[in-house]
């Protein structure tokens, strides 16, 4: 394909194309250079050839009788050279190029009718000149699009600012192309479409989103953002765009498709960080929403309402009065649409059903946003909205029948009927998704607020009626129903009566036996979620047994996702046993049940790598729960040995923490356990697994239990502090600091069990510690001053007491370097020099800290 040939939006190729949701034409770089772009991503400056043509172009523009044909040739050459690039480095020359291209589109010469100095020998000079000038505008626009496509997202705002700003009296803002009636008439006479010019505005806003919304992150969601020059400039430009678009909707411009204006308004609202800008922009948009509801088509007005609810700014930009006023307006508007849609279905009015269905789906999307983002304000209206949605679900069979019947009546093809039916099913799925979001939001609300029992009762009554009303005929709808159950958290589950609890449990267990692997997978996630509920697990042991039956059955599935989900569920089941039935054996949880759970977990632990971890987690939790009366069973002893043979840090840590098991099997498995911990700390790239290894080492309570592994573990722990694994994806913020804090905790524990002979002149440990003196001093000493967890403080105290004892028992004549090391890392150097360190460890913290 030749450079500059437009592609459909389905033909996007890497980052080198100009991406746009609503764009009709997309220009790509040549195919040969696409292959290079996979390995080369360096940004390139504007080529010398482009700069030379830019100089020539500017000279021609400044002439009183500039030649359109010469300008046209310059623009063609610039386009040709730009298409040879892959990425563009932003600099002042690009700034100058954009300004010049704007001038090409707006200068008066474009609309002259004189043909002096041009095409004197042509048969139809006026026609040729008109075509040349039309091409100037087209090529100027295309060059701007190509420049924007070559810029990285971080420079998208630079392009947007230069395009939309006016730099001096002889410069133009891009909006002047639409606002100046003379320019518009000129474009019309040259056959230039204003829609194509407006599309560049939309595309530049999309590219500028990266910078505009940079501050609108979760990390600063509740932080005041200072007013900056960036906010002032961006606010002024976006304000001008909003005003132009809203005025154009009220007073349409001839030649500009109003549908394009609606789409541009939505894109601009989605990219605008109202919280960072002048709030007058928001007030203008809010006023427009209140006054233009009947003027803007519903399919465009509803997304605008949704943007205003979902926006990164809604909580702080609205004042209380505006928020309530807007909520009442939007909810009433959506409910009216849904009621009208339902009324038409009940009257069997199936004409234009597809568009009406699309609008109904958009109305439900707005209600979902209210439930998710404004739940506390939405409380008073939420029950009415749920009632409307529940009514939609109750006539879901009618929706499907209506869709098919209308398609047959209009003699549509099967593909068109299927498309219409899919849209109807989408509305049903959206309805259940709304109920799911309402359920999640209410559960979160109940965590931090006293429940309004009357409201909760009404909510549950509506919720209870919704899922059974639909005899699911599609997997999508059934999955949406299961998600409604999974949205129940423990706070909301505690409000359910026994009958409703039983309904939830029976429903989910039923879905877990469905023939579809997709539905069974969804149900498995829900079961794993329910197994974390203390109020359910402690009271209903039969629920645990039923879950075990389902897990046993679904682990035989051929679908890997299904097996992975139920392996996670059995891991949660074993965690619940360890948490709520520690060392307790009941009538249901007997030896037979134990062996059954063990065999299932063992099967998972030997299975695919995708599910193996959950098997190890289940076996480790099972060891922690094991009642003392089971300790002599042969199968349990085999179970312990099997775990010790695997590099399963979490499970091994539970073996060490279970004193009865550790003491019983210490001689047989200690070597396997310590080898696994060492292997995990040195070779694993997973910080979570390393953390489990450290916790397992800390669980070893005495020096004798480390045996000959003590020095080796010291060396591994010291290396682990600085050897952060290299991964393709960066670790989440703070995770490395947390990991290093755990390593220091492990070092303090090793020091707390140290004995005097470990520091003898012939001992290996002395050389290991002295070789890491500087690192230990920097990392360990702060642990005596501050720690994030109480157990860290206890370990630091035990370490200090033990090192004081060792310090006093060392012979300073032969171990002066060792005593100096202990003082500088673990004790107070000044006090040590004065020989004032207390032997009994009763010294105040301030006494020991420099």
Q: Does position 472 have pLDDT exceeding 60, yes or no?
A: no
- Report whether 279 contacts 317 (CB < 8 A): yes
Per-residue confidence (pLDDT) for residue 253, from 0 to 100: 87
pLDDT of residue 378: 82
Place of tokens 């205003």: 308
C-alpha to C-alpha distance for 382 and 378, rounded to whole angstroms: 6
Could you tell me which residues come within 8 angstroms of residue 13 by beta carbon, excluding any fewer than 6 positions away? 28, 34
pLDDT at 187 over 70: yes
Whether pLDDT at 90 is above 80: yes
Winning range, highest mean pLDDT, from 142-156, 450-464, 826-840: 142-156
Q: How open is the CA angle 778-782-787, to the nearest 5 degrees?
A: 140
Q: Using CA atoms, how far apart are residues 786 and 738, in angstroms rounded to an integer?
A: 14
Look at the block and give the residue holding tokens 């007030």.
283
Please report, rounded to a whole number, the percentage of residues in the chain having pLDDT higher than 70: 72
Q: How far is CA 394 from the centre of its chain?
A: 34
Distance CA 534, CA 180 (A): 69
Q: Are 276 and 216 in contact (CB under 8 A)?
A: yes
From the list 301, 275, 419, 282, the residue with the least C-alpha distance to 365 is 301
**What tens digit of pLDDT does each residue of 108-133 get?**
544 443 334 444 444 444 444 555 66
pLDDT band at 4 (very low <50, low <70, confident <90, very high): very low
DSSP state of 26: B
Q: 60 or 516, which is more confident?
A: 516
3-state helix, strand, coil in the chain (%, to 5): 70, 0, 25
Q: How far apart are CA 134 and CA 313, in angstroms?
A: 43
b (16+ CB within 10 A) / e for 469-494? ebebeeeebbbbbbbbbbbbbbbbbe
Instruction: Work out whether the CA dihedral 320, 326, 328, 330 comes out positive or negative.
Output: negative
Q: What is the sign, positive or negative, of the torsion defined by CA atoms of 580, 582, 587, 589?
A: positive
Comparing 170 with 138, which gets the higher pLDDT?
A: 138
CA of residue 397 relative to chain centroid, distance: 35
- The pLDDT of residue 495 is above 70: yes
Bridge partner residues of 44 (DSSP) = 88
First-residue to last-residue Cα distance in the chain: 72
pLDDT-derived band of residue 527, with 50, 70 and 90 as boundaries? very high
Contact present, 334 and 367 (Cβ < 8 Å): yes
The whole-number pLDDT of residue 638 equals: 66
Higher-pLDDT residue of 781 and 236 is 236
Beta pairing partners, 26: 7
**What token pair was written down for 223?**
């932080």
Among the listed ranges 402-416, 595-609, 682-696, which one has the minimum average pLDDT value? 402-416
Query: What pLDDT was estimated at residue 844?
Result: 41
Distance, in Å, from the CA atom of 56 to the CA atom of 749, rounded to the nearest integer, reads: 75
- What pLDDT digit, counting tens, does each position of 575-623 carry? 888 888 766 666 667 778 888 888 888 888 878 877 877 888 888 787 7
Top-ranked range on mean pLDDT: pick from 17-31, 43-57, 85-99, 369-383? 85-99
Say if residues 392 and 342 touch (Cβ distance below 8 Å): yes
Joined tokens for residue 279? 């709030």
Region 355-375: what's the mean pLDDT? 85
Q: How many whole angstroms separate alpha carbon 636 and alpha carbon 657? A: 17
Place of tokens 């002889």: 170
Structure-derived torsion over alpha carbons of residues 79, 80, 83, 89, reported in degrees to the nearest 10 = -70
Mean pLDDT of 173-178: 83
pLDDT of residue 795: 85
Q: Rounded to whole angstroms, how far apart are CA atoms 550 and 625?
A: 22
Q: State the Cα–Cα distance between residues 635 and 623, nearest whole angstrom.
A: 12
Of 823 and 262, the one with more pLDDT: 262
Strand partners, 421: none
691: which residues sit within 8 A by CB, 6+ positions away? 739, 742
DSSP code for 47: P
Res 723: pLDDT: 79
User: Per residue in 224-254, pLDDT tens?
Assistant: 444 566 777 888 888 889 989 999 998 888 8
Q: What's the pLDDT at 421? A: 57
What does each C-alpha distance from 641 to 605, 634, 696 come to in angstroms? 14, 11, 17
Q: Is the pLDDT of residue 33 over 80?
A: no
Distances (CA, A) of 719 to 583, 715, 722, 767: 38, 6, 6, 14
Selected residue with higher pLDDT from 657 and 407? 657
Secondary structure element (H or E) that encloses residue 157, with its range: helix 156-164
Q: What is the pLDDT of residue 66?
A: 64
CA distance 406 to 408: 5
Strand, coil or helix: what is 254?
A: coil
Has residue 560 got a pLDDT over 50? yes
Q: Tell me what the mean pLDDT of segment 287-291 comes to.
A: 86
HSE-CB at 531 with a 13 A cutoff on CA atoms is: 28
Q: Higher confidence at residue 243 or residue 665?
A: 243
What would the mean pLDDT of 211-219 be, rounded to a whole number? Answer: 56
H/E run at residue 104: helix 92-106
User: 222 Cβ partners below 8 Å, 6+ apart?
Assistant: none
When pLDDT is cut at 50, 70 and 90, the band that residue 707 belongs to is confident
Question: What integer pLDDT is reported at residue 812 of this predicted model?
Answer: 63
In the numeric block, which tokens belong to residue 90? 């932003």
How far is the C-alpha of 607 from the C-alpha of 807, rounded, in Å?
51
Both structure tokens of 153: 């997202």
Do the Cβ atoms of 72 and 139 come closer than 8 Å? yes
Of 678, 686, 688, which Cα lies nearest the Cα of 650? 688
Alpha carbon distance 76, 84 (integer Å):
13
pLDDT of residue 569: 92
Supply the angle between the helices 414-448 and 396-409 in degrees, to the nearest 10: 160
Nearest to 134 by CA among 153, 111, 159: 111
The residue-averaged pLDDT of 619-646 equals: 67
CA distance 70 to 418: 55
pLDDT (mean) for 519-543:
87
> Which is higher by pLDDT, 727 or 371?
371
DSSP at 124: S
Three-class secondary structure of residue 163 per DSSP: helix
Higher pLDDT, 565 or 784: 565
Q: Which one is predicted more confidently, 760 or 749?
A: 749
Confidence of residue 437 (pLDDT cuts 50, 70, 90): confident
Are 567 and 590 contacting, i.e. CB atoms less than 8 angstroms apart? no
Q: Does residue 39 have a pLDDT over 50?
A: no
Whether the per-residue pLDDT at 636 is higher than 80: the answer is no
Report the mean per-residue pLDDT for the chain. Answer: 75
Which residues fall within 8 angstroms of residue 369, CB to CB, at 6 or more apart? 306, 309, 310
Token pair 């916790």 is found at: 695
Q: What is the pLDDT of residue 809?
A: 83
Instruction: Confirm if 357 and 423 have CB atoms less than 8 A apart.
Output: yes
| DSSP code string of 355-397 | HHHHHHHHHHHHHHHHHHH-HHHHHHHHHHHHHHHHHHHHTHH
């Amino acid at each position: 394909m030749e450079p500059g040939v437009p592609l459909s939006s389905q033909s996007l190729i890497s980052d080198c194309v100009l991406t746009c949701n609503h764009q009709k034409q997309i220009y790509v770089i040549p195919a040969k250079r696409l292959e290079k772009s996979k390995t080369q991503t360096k940004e390139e400056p504007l080529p010398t050839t482009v700069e030379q043509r830019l100089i020539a172009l500017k000279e021609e523009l400044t002439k009183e009788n500039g030649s359109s044909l010469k300008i046209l040739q310059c623009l063609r050459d610039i386009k040709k050279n730009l298409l040879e690039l892959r990425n563009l480095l932003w600099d002042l020359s690009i700034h100058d190029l954009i300004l010049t291209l704007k001038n090409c589109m707006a200068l008066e010469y474009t609309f002259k009718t004189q043909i002096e100095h041009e095409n004197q020998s042509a048969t139809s000079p006026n026609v040729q000149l008109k075509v040349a000038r039309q091409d100037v505008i087209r090529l100027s626009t295309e060059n701007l699009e190509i420049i924007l496509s070559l810029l990285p997202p971080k420079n998208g705002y630079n392009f947007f600012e230069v395009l939309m700003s006016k730099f001096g009296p002889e410069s133009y803002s891009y909006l002047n192309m639409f606002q100046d009636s003379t320019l518009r008439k000129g474009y019309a006479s040259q056959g230039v479409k204003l829609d194509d010019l407006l599309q560049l505005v939309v595309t530049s806003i999309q590219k500028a989103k990266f910078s505009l919304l940079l501050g609108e992150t979760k990390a600063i969601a509740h932080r005041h953002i200072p007013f900056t020059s960036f906010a002032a400039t961006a606010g002024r430009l976006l304000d001008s765009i909003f005003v132009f678009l809203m005025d154009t909707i009220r007073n349409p411009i001839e030649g500009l498709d109003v549908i394009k204006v609606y789409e541009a308004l939505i894109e601009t609202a989605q990219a605008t960080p109202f919280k960072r800008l002048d709030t007058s922009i928001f007030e203008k948009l809010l006023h427009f929403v209140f006054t233009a509801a009947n003027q803007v088509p519903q399919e465009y007005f509803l997304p605008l309402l949704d943007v205003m609810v979902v926006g990164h700014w809604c909580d702080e930009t609205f004042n209380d009065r505006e928020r309530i006023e807007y909520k009442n307006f939007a909810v009433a508007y959506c409910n009216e649409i849904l009621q009208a849609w339902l009324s038409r279905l009940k009257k069997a009015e199936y004409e234009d059903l597809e568009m009406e269905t699309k609008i109904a789906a958009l109305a439900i999307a707005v209600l979902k946003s209210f439930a998710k983002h404004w739940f506390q304000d939405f409380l008073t209206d939420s029950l009415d909205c749920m009632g409307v949605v529940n009514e939609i679900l109750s006539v879901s069979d009618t929706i499907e029948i209506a869709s098919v019947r209308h398609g047959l009546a209009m003699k549509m093809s099967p593909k068109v009927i299927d498309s219409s039916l899919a849209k109807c099913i989408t509305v049903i799925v959206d309805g259940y998704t709304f109920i799911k979001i309402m359920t999640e939001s209410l559960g979160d609300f109940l965590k931090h607020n006293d429940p309004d029992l009357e409201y909760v009762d009404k909510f549950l009554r509506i919720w209870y009626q919704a899922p059974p009303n639909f005899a699911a005929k599609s997997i999508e709808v059934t999955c949406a129903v299961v998600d409604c159950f999974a949205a129940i958290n423990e706070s909301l589950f505690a409000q359910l009566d026994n009958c409703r609890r039983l309904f939830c449990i029976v429903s989910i267990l039923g879905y877990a036996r469905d023939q579809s692997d997709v539905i069974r997978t969804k149900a498995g996630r829900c079961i794993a979620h329910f197994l974390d509920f203390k109020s359910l697990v402690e009271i209903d042991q039969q629920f645990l047994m039923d879950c075990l039956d389902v897990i046993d059955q679904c682990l035989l599935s051929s679908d890997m996702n299904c097996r992975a989900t139920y392996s996670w569920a059995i891991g949660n089941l074993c965690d619940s046993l360890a948490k709520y039935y520690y060392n307790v054996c009941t009538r249901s949880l007997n030896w037979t049940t134990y062996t059954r759970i063990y065999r299932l977990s063992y099967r998972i632990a030997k299975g695919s790598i995708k599910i193996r971890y959950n098997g190890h987690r289940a076996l480790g939790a099972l060891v922690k729960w094991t009642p003392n009366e089971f300790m002599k069973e042969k199968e349990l002893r085999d179970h312990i040995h099997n775990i010790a043979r695997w590099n399963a840090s979490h499970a091994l840590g539970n073996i060490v923490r279970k004193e009865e098991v550790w003491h019983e099997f210490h001689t047989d498995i200690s070597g396997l356990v310590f080898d696994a911990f060492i292997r995990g700390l040195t070779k694993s790239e997973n910080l979570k697994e390393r953390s489990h290894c450290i916790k397992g080492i800390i669980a070893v309570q005495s020096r004798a239990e480390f045996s000959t592994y003590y020095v080796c573990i010291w060396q591994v722990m010291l290396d682990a502090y600085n050897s952060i694994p290299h991964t393709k994806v960066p670790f989440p913020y703070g995770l490395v600091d947390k990991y290093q804090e755990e390593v220091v905790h492990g070092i303090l524990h090793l020091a707390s069990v140290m004995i005097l002979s470990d520091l003898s002149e012939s001992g290996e440990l002395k050389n290991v510690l002295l070789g890491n003196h500087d690192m230990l001093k920097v990392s360990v000493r702060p642990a005596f001053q501050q720690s994030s967890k109480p157990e860290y403080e206890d370990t630091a105290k035990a370490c200090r007491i033990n090192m004081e004892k060792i310090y006093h028992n060392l012979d300073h004549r032969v171990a002066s370097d060792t005593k100096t090391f202990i003082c500088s890392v673990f004790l107070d150097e000044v006090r040590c020099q004065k020989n004032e360190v207390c032997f009994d460890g009763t010294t105040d913290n301030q006494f020991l800290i420099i």
